[in-house]
Structure 1
């Protein structure tokens, strides 16, 4: 009962969604003591559009996710079309300048295009004051950012300025002011000491027991087929599963979504009693009624280009013209004078199917012009096909002017490759979930019929979607379907701009 109560307090009451903030600095730029030298220097010469600030002050704000769970843009209590998540109000001061001084992760940078300020006139209920409007920033656990603001006292006001106040709420959570501590609180030391003693006692009981396996561990052997783009993720998850369930083993024959689902269907028709899973970038083809699919994750893809091309952003129309063979040199889209070499996937690839469905649409692709992808062919463009994501990205990196596509996390991690924005939108879950970035797909896990509840197949799929495997999905920039508003469809749910 004691560990149950402690866990409930830590992870349910305290560990819900929680946004913390603290004012790390709030000071005027004038001396509070007489000095012989002019030490303040430039601090006394702050200006706003050429006009010196008479009563300037500097404020440094820190905003952090100090809860136990991820905070998404829809967790802020605000209207869907309101880009502002929280506001800081400064009584009797107006904001004359702001800058983001620190990001815990560079992926937060794109969110601050909507950083704005405003001024509220005095009313019967509150004094006049400036406002910093901060956007709905999605934040992983322990993520943070800092905002440095320069302020000027409202004319006619005397005395020390009042501290800033925060306005905003988090759904199923709270926003609270935090304190910076250099020493561990005594109550934390007491709790930790108690829990250590409790763990030691539990360990002694555990060592006396006959079984140390986790409750959901299963033994056996599973063969996994399907998507080459998803292979690095599922192999990492299988390794993590084996670390805690020693009696499990996995074999991987992942050569493409279409081929994997077809092999799984053949096993089913032959009455094979082994355990098999096929992962597919998108739904299975028709004519396989015995196969049951489970949406696993919201899966992002990205265009990948060799740096010699000199491009970082393409419009959707430009991408379609390139793959239709209408544009054959990067110079035509603002890049370098380098021929375009298209590296595509073989037919039957789930990644290729996703590219066709989400990006090309009705555009007819130019056919392959060479059987094997050369590293170079002088000044000639070419189109070639490869069998898997890893080889495609390696070929793009080694081939001047090459353009291809693959899983977004793998593309970002491949040296010699640059990911391309589409219509100025980067390949992120936030952009795709807002219907701004088009190149995504739902990743499905297919089995022949419903696997037995205690089988390794069923246990591994539960592990992949609700346990450590879900953390692995997030680490690759994906989103487990269970975390979306509509897990069964596993697709963006919020409407984009009209």
Structure 2
């Protein structure tokens, strides 16, 4: 059989068997399922004989002498199916008001209480007019204690517990008591003894083994099938643009080239604007779609119509600060005041007595544009007054020292080595550094969940730009598809970013 056909068969079986097991368990035989579980069944004779028995030694039924051979049973009654159990669903017990009977052979019921009702409004089913009660059956070989429970409507997951205090029946045998029994029935369903969930059931273990074998089988098919992937394209492709996505694209390009020997990549990441200019020039010269992809932090509105954006990833950015500053959390207002020049020393906002230095990306950087748009509310950063980030240039503007760097790595190196320096960068690159501090904004760390829910403001969509539409069989088109398949997505995720189509709200990735 063809290896691809084997892979298809294994995939279909791997999906069909768990699906059938699910439907069988929760729709065919377990749609309505009343579960019960004996969570405690223990005697207390030894304890009552001890000097620490306390109130246990005084226990007695409603009328009569103290208990001599007491035992305690805790039973959980629950809806363990996939749909509601209504009052009319209970059956088999002759008294139509009774839903469940708990039987305790060889023991009589001294007292009982219903507890741990979930939800609490189940309490209304156990009022004075309900059939909740206790008694003793004497029509068998030995007396049997009985607890009657009403027909309690239970939604999926609802449960309650019954705690019963029992006494060994007169003339009963020594030794451990017999196991409790339950009498109940459910129309269109069943009553089942459930488990505590502390371990795997046999069915679950068998299903896990089966799925493991399917996975191993698919892995073997993949290993054996050494044919070149059908989507491979040949040629040389230039990747340029934002340095925030550089590490991701270098890894993706190298892995694509390893998989497809006829492909090669060159890299020239100098910033979003520079990359888009490179793409525009190459396209204008070729009069067609060139072998160039440009990446930009955020969509650019002031471009010629030949440059077409495609959302690739949702990128998180972060502020970073030199450890000498002594801060790790800034409010959004403090950040704006820092870049407005109103805060010149970290001690003014609770940090150390160290002057503030601002290290920014150069104009044209997508990261800088994102910072100005998302954090500074569209306000441009002030002009620089220093080249070395340590001393003010001759004739430079007064105030705090401001400087700029071309690349993400250069900015991070500057923040790490210049005392009191503050800057910003792509999160994945920043978190790899241990020689600087990643700053929280308004107490919120940079996380995907926080960004997509509006709690963290510093993020942007990464776009891949082409000059016109590349041919379907070109390396550019193939590589773009590669970024959206599983391997490409894994690479994007490994750098702390997220593929656009995996967002709960994919609209965040569309061009503005």
Go from structure 1 to structure 2 and tell me whether the alpha carbon gap of 1:374 and 1:189 turns closer, same or farther (over 3 Å shift).
same
Q: Distance in 2 between matches of 1:360 and 1:452?
A: 40
Go from structure 1 to structure 2 and tell me whether the alpha carbon gap of 1:470 and 1:191 turns closer, same or farther (over 3 Å shift).
closer
- Say which SS state the counterpart of residue 243 (structure 2) adopts: coil
Go from structure 1 to structure 2 and tell me whether the alpha carbon gap of 1:9 and 1:424 turns closer, same or farther (over 3 Å shift).
farther
TM superposition outliers: structure 1 runs of 4+ over 3 Å: 8-15, 30-35, 118-122, 124-127, 154-160, 176-204, 374-377, 485-489
Q: Distance in 1 between matches of 2:392 and 2:417?
A: 9
Q: Distance in 2 between matches of 1:426 and 1:337?
A: 25
The structure 1 residue matched to 2:250, chosen from 232, 235, 241, is: 235
Is 1:474 matched up with 2:475? no
Shift of 1:224: 0.7
> Aligned runs of 1:141-180 on 2, under 5 Å?
157-158=163-164, 180=199
1:346 alignment counterpart:
362
**Deviations for 1:288-315, whole angstroms, at most 9, x for unmatched residues?**
2111110111111000111111111111
The structure 2 residue matched to 1:449, chosen from 456, 463, 468, is: 468
The structure 1 residue matched to 2:14, chosen from 10, 16, 39, is: 10
The structure 1 residue matched to 2:405, chosen from 386, 392, 404, is: 386
Q: Which runs of 5+ in 1 are unaligned?
A: 19-25, 39-54, 58-90, 95-117, 128-153, 161-175, 493-498
Superposition TM-score, scaled by structure 1 size: 0.63
2:229 alignment counterpart:
214
Shift of 1:398: 1.2
| C-alpha contact 1:223 1:252 (8 A) present in aligned 2 | yes
Q: Distance in 2 between matches of 1:4 and 1:366?
A: 60
2:67 alignment counterpart:
none
- Say which SS state the counterpart of residue 431 (structure 2) adopts: helix
| C-alpha contact 1:375 1:399 (8 A) present in aligned 2 | no
| C-alpha contact 1:298 1:491 (8 A) present in aligned 2 | no
2:123 alignment counterpart:
123
Go from structure 1 to structure 2 and tell me whether the alpha carbon gap of 1:474 and 1:121 turns closer, same or farther (over 3 Å shift).
same
Is 1:254 matched up with 2:269? yes
Q: Distance in 2 between matches of 1:237 and 1:229?
A: 14
Shift of 1:319: 0.5
Go from structure 1 to structure 2 and tell me whether the alpha carbon gap of 1:178 and 1:353 turns closer, same or farther (over 3 Å shift).
farther
Q: Distance in 1 between matches of 2:221 and 2:497?
A: 39
> Aligned runs of 1:99-498 on 2, under 5 Å?
120=120, 122-124=122-124, 157-158=163-164, 180=199, 185=205, 206=225, 212-271=227-286, 274-374=290-390, 381-484=400-503, 487=506, 489-490=508-509
Shift of 1:363: 3.6
**Deviations for 1:173-224, whole angstroms, at most 9, x for unmatched residues?**
xxx99664599956665776688678768877x57xxxx1012111111001
| C-alpha contact 2:452 2:505 (8 A) present in aligned 1 | no
- Say which SS state the counterpart of residue 311 (structure 2) adopts: strand
Q: Which runs of 5+ in 2 are unaligned?
A: 23-37, 52-71, 75-113, 128-159, 167-194, 394-398
Shift of 1:484: 2.9
Shift of 1:275: 0.5
Q: Distance in 2 between matches of 1:306 and 1:31?
A: 66
| C-alpha contact 1:314 1:423 (8 A) present in aligned 2 | yes
- Say which SS state the counterpart of residue 480 (structure 2) adopts: helix
| C-alpha contact 1:257 1:349 (8 A) present in aligned 2 | yes
| C-alpha contact 2:253 2:265 (8 A) present in aligned 1 | yes
Larger radius of gyration: 2
Go from structure 1 to structure 2 and tell me whether the alpha carbon gap of 1:326 and 1:124 turns closer, same or farther (over 3 Å shift).
same
Q: Distance in 2 between matches of 1:366 and 1:295?
A: 30
Superposition TM-score, scaled by structure 2 size: 0.61
